[in-house]
A and B are shown apart, each in its own frame.
Chain A
Amino acid sequence: MPLDAIPIVAVHGDAPSAQAGLVPGALSGNAPALLREIAEHLRRLLAGAEPAAIDLRAMPLTPADLDWLRERLGSGEVNATLLADGESTIVETACPGVWWVTHRNDRDVVVAEFIEVTFLPELLKAHPEDVQFGLEHLELLISDLS
């Protein structure tokens, strides 16, 4: 039997949601509550609290909810790409201090998605010990000049 005789049909369209009872294309009504949570985190951040994060994967959100949220939050001035074990994007939303963080693995599959409420996401900062390595490297370059 030739291989192409095997009736495998790719079915396109909306992938069924992993969340039971949620219809992928429809809003679940859970997203607006998140806006209020983010606002509260921002208030606390301004009052001197620790940065906060919301794990979007842990929320009962449909793809449509995520689109809705993304659209509402908009995009801001900073758009950073981190190339470490796959690509991660760290995007500031139109609300400064609210960041949309998406982690992908090296096969470009989204493995985690967060909203971070912070002045600067921890991932963007260079670690002092890495800076030390950088300095040593630079000193080596300078010593090669002479």
Chain B
Amino acid sequence: MQGPLIDTLVRQGVSRRSFMKYCATLASLMALPPAAGRAMAQAMAAARRPSVIWLPFQECTGCTESITRSHSPSLEGMIFDMVSLDYQETLMAAAGHQAEEALEKAIEDNKGQFLLIIDGSVATGLDGAYSCIAGRTNLDLLKHVAPHAAAIVAVGSCAAFGGIPKAKPNPTGAVAVSDIIKDKPIVNVPGCPPIPVVMTGVLAHFLTFGSLPELDRLGRPKAFYGETIHDRCYRRPFYDQGKFAKTFDDEGARKGWCLFELGCKGPVTYNACATVKWNAGTSWPVEGGHGCLGCSEPDFWDGGGFYKALSMPADPLKMAATAAVVGAAAGVAASFANRAKKGGAKAAHETVTLADLEK
């Protein structure tokens, strides 16, 4: 059970060559130098399975869905199995008092060593009474477990930034993990849900180097959140040429032009969707024809409308930086485009949708 990782993998029928290939690919994905792939393979092969305690707070289990279905049975999934997942309410067999005992035992056995994964925001309203497990508030549980963890990984936009529970008017007083815990290293892996390989990448980094990856100002691993969706978007050349889809089924949309004027939040969203993609590299939202919602950014739900072009913000203070990025000219063009769109949609469709009315 506590042998080197490679032994466990070999028992599961994973060959050493596929493991090395996986490490090389992961290193490339994490923008590490190519030689790091070999170093990773060596370090990870020898690594012991770290204890992981996973606490779900105010969440929808979408993050767990994303990670457990990381194109199973992929190596990512297997490596995820290969950590010693000592407490995870959705996946564990134990229930009731047994489960809570498992949690206490895992904390006791691995004091200061385990990785604490949290998905979901922390309710603080009514002393945290909005979200309880076994009669205990999330707030209380977090304060009990966090001091013993080596590091915390806040999975999903809720744990990282408060997410949808924190959306206005935030009835439960939801906050991010980092609002409560100030004295532990915290890695934010936002997204609604996050990309599975980003999760496993953080785990791999912890296994390989015994440390956490380099983070940006919002606590996100730079390797995956270093560039915007827009920077790496395959539709970017159309943006540069000023070719924009104006409605969801006009000629521009059919030709795959830029979705900026349809409200794409790609230019201000840092995530790896454009390169890593989803569903085992099949596609991603923009390739599917819909603009980016910006789900890995703080307060994405309150951004002022998914179908409003970025340069006509509902919240001028928050989006001020955005306007500077896209430039005034594009801003004027887009605001005209939005006004014209309702008319355009009317002409193109029999019906006007809710989204059209929003503009």
Contacts and interface: CB of A to CB of B under 8 A. Distances in A.
Interface of A: 7-9, 11, 15-18, 20-21, 23, 50, 52-55, 57-58, 82, 84-85, 88, 103, 105, 107, 109, 111-112, 114, 116, 122-123, 127, 129-130
Contact of B280 (A17, A82, A105, A130): A105
Lowest 4 A-B CB distances belong to which pairs? A53-B34, A84-B18, A85-B18, A112-B28
Contacts of A127: 16
A130 B16 contact: yes
Contact of B275 (A9, A18, A82): A18
Contacts of A82: 17, 21
A7 B24 contact: no
Given A16-B238, A20-B231, 20 more contacts: A7-B249, A9-B254, A11-B254, A16-B237, A17-B237, A20-B237, A21-B240, A23-B237, A53-B37, A55-B28, A55-B34, A85-B18, A85-B75, A111-B28, A111-B281, A112-B25, A112-B29, A114-B24, A114-B28, A130-B16
B contacts with A: majority SS: helix
Nearest to B32: A55
Contacts of A107: 280-282
B234 A16 contact: yes
A128 to B, nearest CB: 10
Contacts of B24: 103, 112, 114
A57 to B, nearest CB: 5
Interface string B56-68: 0000000000000
A112 B29 CA distance: 8
Interface in B265-299: 274-275, 280-282
A23 B69 CA distance: 36
Contacts of B15: 84, 130
Contacts of B18: 84-85
Contacts of A112: 24-25, 28-29
Contacts of A103: 21, 24-25
Interface in B231-251: 231-238, 240, 249
Given A7-B249, A17-B237, A20-B231, A58 B20 contact: no
B255 interface: yes
14 contacts: A11-B254, A11-B256, A16-B235, A20-B232, A20-B237, A21-B240, A82-B17, A84-B18, A84-B21, A105-B280, A105-B281, A111-B28, A112-B25, A127-B16
